[in-house]
């Protein structure tokens, strides 16, 4: 607020005079003051009531209930004056003027306040008045700060006043103004502290045309070291600004005004959630956004960066047309580079300031001490630890300043430059024509991915296995009909084929039903049934019986096939249903060609096509076929399995009854990825059922409806739907 001599309006001059008399404690009651100005009494009364309303609003917005009075600390402060006062224990009850006799004009200078004689006013703030005083019992000159009185004295002010005194009293550092005593006397809340002869940093910034780079860095380095001491003692300042940094006659700094301090150890604070406390130009974004209760050490570090910015450029980083505008910029706008306001700022110093002014507290210096170390390194010409923002990050910060982009990403753009607005206009034009562009692009892409590839790869299977035979025959027909390059790669079986499809290493692959268990895969066509063949050898088994009890498998090793084969997966499902655990009957992964070796188990569970040459050869070498017990129960447990029989004609010479050998069967499918080209799937299906058939056991296409619950490729589903009545 302007001083009386600066005021042009008589009402403003009178109101300023009232405020000054309140600060000096020389005013009586409000009515007595208004009586001196009868011609403007009504206007002055309205101003006083407005100030009262503003003060009540500030308290209500803080969301904090009145705390218990903060008593002086016996360890750090002499509390004799507090003890001498008999006015009561609650500071709110002893506000200036609250318990004065009517007509008491209050203190006039010089004024005796216990052992202090107040001599002259040396400073005023929003909450208190600082006097130069003589401490009579120690014969020393000190500063005494008293809370403002009159209409501006409120309970929140008292809490802040005692918070400042108690916070500063617990700190002992040459860069922090020491507090000697605090308490209340004759209705006046006060505390005494060292008197610093000199000026404050804000006045130096205002009075000097430009602070030298070195002086600015040195001032903030020393402030950072003092704040590091406060942080180590669990005290946050939360209102760091140039006006709160005193510079003595020896050019040394001293931090004062801990009125908004927060004790991290007790989580005490004069504000609550929802209050934006501090000075807008220098407060951290988390404070400006109304979350002062979330302030951390990094909040003070942001303020240190803003102070350094002001020392170098002569102005804070972000300045709005109003307090609200400034707060919005602090929360949402990135700070400009210092070089936009002062040419020739060293790159390292700009990097240090940018790190302090990061919006995210985690990106700032982890401590004020680390900031001081980097400023020391800058002053001594050593490399700093902070790193500048990369060009991509700088570009992103500029791009996010475009109003439309900011709205999309949740960043509020307070103001935009002409460049941002031109870019937005071009972007809106692109958005307007983009639907037509993307529709055309989508049509081209769809045509491309659905067309026949120039080179097709099919997965096979184990050497001399049925999968290899099928894939080789499909490849041959594709080459002849489409004139494209087709390759068949040998694999380890169903599970290997599944992974190759997922990795896009192949276009089509035969595999057992249990392997098609990923949403990215689908069925092209059912190929043939694979039957579980339980084979045994040795004298322990009855050659005249096709039956075997599950108990006979217990305690014996069982060969279940190569690791990547579908046969191994089917064998595991069968054994689990029979409650034959691997702990009791170890499952041996072994290649089928090794079954006749001495180290091979005497039991094998093989899932292959009926009439497989592998089974024929094993039977010729002395192995016996046995029925799978409880086949119906097993099929109930596993939907991909079904009870089936092995026909006696398939393996001539084997003692299979004419009714067949009970077993479990599964289906081998030709599978693909869901996004497989439609032209490839269509051509493969037409060639698959083209006469002569690829192999005798191929499941007829009209029977594909039996697997209608399976997830078919869209082209395959349409193909089978249109040929459902074709039984040729």
DSSP 519-583: TTEEEEEEEEEEEEEEEE-STTS-TT-S---GGGGTTS-EE---TT-HHHHHHHHHHHHTT--TT
Question: What's the rounded Cα separation, in Å, for the pair 97 and 150?
Answer: 6
Instruction: Write down the pLDDT at residue 96.
Output: 41
CB atoms within 10 A of CB 278: 23
Q: Cα(first)–Cα(last) distance of the chain, in Å?
A: 100
Residues of the chain short of pLDDT 70, as ranges, are 1-9, 12-13, 15-32, 46-47, 49-107, 125-127, 148-156, 264-278, 291-293, 389-401, 404, 406-407, 409-417, 444-449, 723-728
Whether the link from the prior residue into 110 is cis, omega within 30° of 0, is: yes
As beta bridge partners, residue 447 has none
Cβ atoms of 700 and 725 within 8 Å: the answer is no
Please state, in angstroms and rounded to a whole number, the distance separating the CA atoms of residues 646 and 652.
Answer: 12
**Cβ atoms of residues 502 and 489 within 8 Å:** no
Is there a contact between 594 and 550 (Cβ–Cβ < 8 Å)?
Answer: no
Name, in order, each residue with C-beta under 8 angstroms of 341's C-beta and a sequence gap of 6 or more: 313, 314, 315
d(CA 523, CA 445): 23
d(CA 228, CA 226): 5
The full DSSP string for 484-522 is: -EEEEE--SSHHHHHHHHHTTS-SEEEEEGGG--STTEE
Q: What is the DSSP string of 385-418?
A: S--PPPHHHHHHHHHTTSHHHHHHHT---S---H
- The SS3 of residue 93 is helix
The single-letter DSSP state of residue 50 is: H
Distance of CA 105 to the CA centre of its chain: 59
Q: Is the peptide bond before 692 cis (omega within 30 degrees of 0)?
A: yes
Q: What pLDDT is attached to residue 696?
A: 82
Tokens describing residue 508: 């089509």
536-555 burial: b if 16+ Cβ within 10 Å, else e: bbeeeeeeeebebeeebbee
Dist CA 253 CA 256 (whole Å): 10
* CB contact at 8 A, 626 and 657: no
Residues 6+ apart with CB under 8 A from 162: 69, 70, 91, 182, 189
Tell me which residue has tokens 């008589």: 10
Tokens coding 435: 């639907």
- CB of 241 within 8 A of CB of 271? no
What gap in Å lies between CA 235 and CA 229, rounded to an integer?
9
DSSP class of residue 672 equals E
237, 512, 572 from 576: Cα distances, Å: 68, 18, 6
Angle 120-123-128 (CA atoms, 0-180°, nearest 5)? Answer: 105
Alpha-carbon gap, residue 340 to 326, rounded angstroms: 19
Angle at 608 between CA 605 and CA 611, to 5 degrees: 110
pLDDT reported for residue 73: 35
pLDDT for position 671: 95
Task: Record the tokens describing residue 542, joined without a space.
Answer: 């009855």
CA angle 664, 668, 669 (to 5 degrees): 145
What is the pLDDT, as a whole number, of residue 412?
Answer: 62
Show the tokens assigned to 195: 């008197």
Coil, helix or strand for 299? helix
pLDDT for the residue 21: 57
Please name each of the domains of the chain with its CATH number: 1-195 (3.30.200.20), 198-385 (1.10.510.10), 455-527+668-722 (3.40.190.10), 529-667 (3.40.190.10)
Backbone φ and ψ for 180, nearest 5 degrees, come out as: -95, -55
> Tell me, what's the pLDDT at 66?
37
Q: What is the pLDDT of residue 315?
A: 93
Instruction: Name the nearest CA neighbour of 200 among 246, 240, 241.
Output: 246
Q: CA distances (Å), 101 to each of 92, 114, 153, in order?
A: 17, 19, 17
Q: What is the pTM of this model?
A: 0.46
Q: Encode burial over 191-200: b for 16+ CB neighbours within 10 A, e otherwise.
A: bbbbbbeeeb
- How far apart, in whole angstroms, are the C-alpha atoms of residue 44 and residue 12? 9
Secondary structure class of 43 (helix, strand, coil): helix
Q: Counting Cβ atoms within 10 Å, is residue 212 exposed (0-12), middle (13-18) or buried (19+)?
A: exposed
CA distances (Å), 482 to each of 427, 470, 506, in order?
Answer: 46, 18, 18
């Amino acid at each position: 607020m302007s001083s009386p001599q600066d005021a042009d309006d008589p009402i403003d001059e009178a109101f300023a005079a009232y405020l000054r008399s309140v600060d000096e404690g020389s005013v009586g009651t409000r009515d007595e003051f208004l009586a001196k100005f009868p011609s403007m009494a009504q206007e002055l009364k309205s101003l006083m009531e407005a100030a009262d309303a503003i003060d009540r609003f500030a308290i209500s917005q803080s969301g904090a209930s009145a705390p218990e009075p903060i008593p002086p600390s016996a360890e750090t402060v002499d509390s004799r004056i507090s003890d001498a006062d008999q006015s009561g224990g609650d500071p709110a009850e002893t506000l200036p003027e609250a318990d004065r006799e009517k007509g008491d004009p209050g203190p006039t200078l010089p004024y005796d306040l216990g052992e202090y004689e107040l001599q002259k006013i040396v400073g005023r703030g929003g909450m208190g008045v600082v006097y130069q005083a003589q401490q009579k019992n120690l014969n020393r000159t000190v500063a005494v700060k008293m809370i403002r009185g009159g209409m501006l004295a409120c309970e929140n002010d008292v809490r802040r006043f005692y918070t400042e005194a108690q916070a500063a009293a617990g700190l002992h550092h040459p860069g922090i103004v020491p507090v000697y005593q605090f308490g209340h006397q004759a209705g006046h809340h006060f505390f005494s502290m060292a008197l610093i002869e000199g000026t404050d940093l804000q006045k130096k910034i205002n009075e000097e045309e430009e602070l030298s780079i070195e002086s600015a860095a040195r001032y903030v380095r020393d402030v950072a070291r003092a704040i590091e001491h406060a942080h180590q003692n669990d005290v946050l300042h939360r209102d760091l600004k140039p006006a709160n940094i005193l510079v003595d006659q020896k050019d040394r700094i001293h931090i004062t005004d801990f009125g908004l301090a927060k004790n991290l150890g007790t989580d005490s604070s004069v504000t609550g959630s929802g209050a934006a406390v501090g000075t807008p130009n220098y407060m951290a974004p988390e404070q400006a956004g109304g979350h002062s209760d979330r302030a951390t050490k990094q909040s003070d570090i942001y303020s240190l960066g803003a102070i350094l910015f002001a020392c170098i450029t002569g102005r804070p980083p972000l300045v709005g047309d109003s307090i609200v505008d400034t707060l919005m910029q602090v929360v949402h706008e990135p700070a400009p580079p210092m070089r936009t306001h002062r040419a020739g700022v060293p790159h390292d110093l700009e990097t240090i300031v940018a790190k302090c002014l990061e919006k995210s507290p985690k990106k700032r210096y982890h401590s004020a001490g680390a900031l001081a170390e980097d400023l020391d390194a800058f002053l001594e010409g050593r490399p700093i630890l902070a790193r500048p923002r990369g060009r991509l990050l700088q570009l992103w910060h500029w791009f996010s300043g475009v109003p439309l982009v900011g709205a999309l990403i949740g960043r509020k753009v307070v103001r935009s430059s002409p460049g941002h607005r031109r870019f937005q206009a071009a972007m809106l034009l692109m958005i307007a024509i983009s639907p037509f562009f993307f529709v055309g692009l989508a049509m081209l892409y769809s045509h491309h991915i659905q067309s026949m590839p120039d080179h097709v790869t099919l997965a096979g299977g184990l050497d001399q296995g049925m999968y290899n035979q099928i894939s080789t025959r499909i490849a041959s027909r594709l080459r002849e009909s489409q004139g494209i390059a087709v390759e068949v790669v040998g694999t380890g079986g169903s599970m290997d084929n599944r992974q190759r499809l997922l990795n896009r290493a192949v276009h089509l692959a035969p595999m057992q039903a249990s392997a098609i268990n990923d949403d990215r895969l689908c069925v092209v066509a059912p190929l043939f049934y694979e039957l579980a063949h339980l084979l045994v050898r040795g004298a322990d088994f009855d050659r005249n019986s096709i039956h075997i009890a599950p108990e006979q498998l217990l305690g014996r090793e069982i060969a279940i096939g190569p690791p990547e084969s579908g046969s191994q997966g089917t064998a595991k499902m069968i054994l689990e249903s029979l409650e034959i655990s691997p702990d009791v009957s170890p499952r041996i992964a072994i290649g089928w060609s090794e079954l006749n070796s001495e180290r091979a188990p005497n039991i094998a569970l093989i899932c292959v096509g009926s009439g497989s040459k592998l089974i024929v050869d094993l039977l010729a070498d002395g192995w016996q076929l046995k029925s799978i017990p409880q086949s119906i129960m097993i099929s109930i447990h596993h939907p991909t399995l079904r009870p089936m029989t092995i026909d006696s004609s398939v393996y001539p010479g084997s003692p299979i009854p004419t009714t067949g050998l009970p077993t479990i069967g599964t289906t081998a499918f030709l599978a693909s990825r869901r996004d497989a080209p439609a032209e490839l799937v269509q051509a493969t299906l037409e060639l698959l059922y083209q006469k002569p058939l690829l192999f005798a056991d191929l499941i007829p296409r009209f029977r594909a409806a039996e697997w209608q619950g399976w997830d078919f490729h869209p082209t395959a589903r349409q193909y089978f739907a249109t040929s459902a009545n074709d039984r040729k």
